[in-house]
Every structure is written in C-alpha cells, then in structure tokens.
C-alpha cells in the first residue's frame, strides 16, 4: 500500500497496528434495504421444513439408513442457515432502516419484528410447517410495512417458489 508515494509496508506491519476484521450491513450507511433477501431465506426455510417432513413420512421404516440420515442432516443444516440469514436480514431492516418516526404510523413495528425474529429461532430448532408458514406471513407483513413507508405500496408480494 502506498500513501503519498511511500510504501507503508516499510514502516508498518500487521503486528504494529491493530487490524480489525469487520462485517456489516452496513452502517455506512449505504441506504440499500429491501425485504426481498429475508423473503428468499424464509422461503428456503419453508422449503427445507417441508422436505424434511416429506422425507420423514416416506422413510418411516428406514430412518436409520445412511442415505436418510445424510439427506435429513443436509436439509436441517440448510434450514438452520437460512433461518439465521432471514433473522439477520430482518434485524438489519428493524435496526437500521426503520426509524423512531415510523412508530407513529406503525405502532406495532417493534413487536412485529420481535415476533418475526422469534419465529426464525423457532424454525431453526423445530421442524414445524406451521411455524414456517407463520414466518412467511410475518415476512409478508414486514414487506408491506417497508414498502408503505417508502411510499411504494404498489410493490406486490411475490414468492419465488
């Protein structure tokens, strides 16, 4: 790295300065927010939940086979990863996009997001079609809140699956 024509490596090393690895969205602030990523992750949670339930139904006599265990493990890992991704995306919207003035027009904003985050957690630890659907319903509600705040209520809720 050069600063004012001086190669900084001659004067500094990683050991002489504090290096912090950071990851964020994004408090820059970039201003790019959209509930679509939460919807996509929520759909993946619902899809994996349904696949797990179907697999269990179709292999009720064969649950100890390596193929069953492998497939179920993969579905569970994807479901948990996507539920966490959904939760992260919702929390970014809640804490970074929505502002105190939005509480005037959306008095249940905090409870809506809190309940949605709790549903993400429930979907991580359970295999519940009911909770997966409740999560999708919560994300749809947040989608509508988001686009109404932006003055773009014409943005319709469309699922990829």
Q: The domain spanning residue 143 has which CATH number?
A: 1.20.120.400
d(CA 94, CA 91): 5
In tens, the pLDDT along 117-128 reads 999 999 999 999
Residue 60 within a domain: yes
Residue 85 within a domain: yes
Residue 155 within a domain: no
Residue 159 within a domain: no
Mapped onto helix, strand or coil, the DSSP state of residue 84 is helix
CA angle 67, 71, 76 (to 5 degrees): 150
Range of the domain at 83: 33-149
Residue 93 within a domain: yes
The answer, as to whether pTM is greater than 0.85, is no
How many C-beta neighbours within 10 Å does residue 12 have? 11
Q: Domains in the chain: how many in total?
A: 1
Structure tokens, 147: 């686009």
Residue 64 has pLDDT above 60, yes or no: yes
């Amino acid at each position: 790295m050069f600063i004012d024509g001086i190669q900084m490596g001659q004067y500094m090393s990683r050991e002489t300065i504090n290096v912090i690895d950071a990851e964020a969205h994004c408090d820059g602030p970039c201003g790019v927010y959209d509930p679509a990523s939460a919807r996509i992750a929520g759909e993946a949670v619902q899809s994996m939940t349904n696949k797990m339930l179907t697999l269990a139904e179709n292999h009720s006599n064969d649950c100890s086979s390596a193929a069953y265990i492998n497939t179920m493990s993969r579905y569970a890992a994807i479901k948990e990863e996507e539920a966490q991704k959904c939760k992260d995306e919702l929390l970014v919207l809640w804490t970074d996009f929505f502002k105190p003035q939005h509480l005037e027009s959306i008095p249940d904003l905090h409870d809506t997001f809190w309940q949605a985050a709790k549903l993400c957690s429930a979907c991580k630890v359970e295999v519940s079609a009911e909770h997966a659907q409740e999560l999708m319903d919560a994300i749809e509600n947040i989608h509508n809140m988001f686009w109404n705040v932006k003055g773009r209520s014409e943005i319709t809720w469309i699922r990829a699956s």
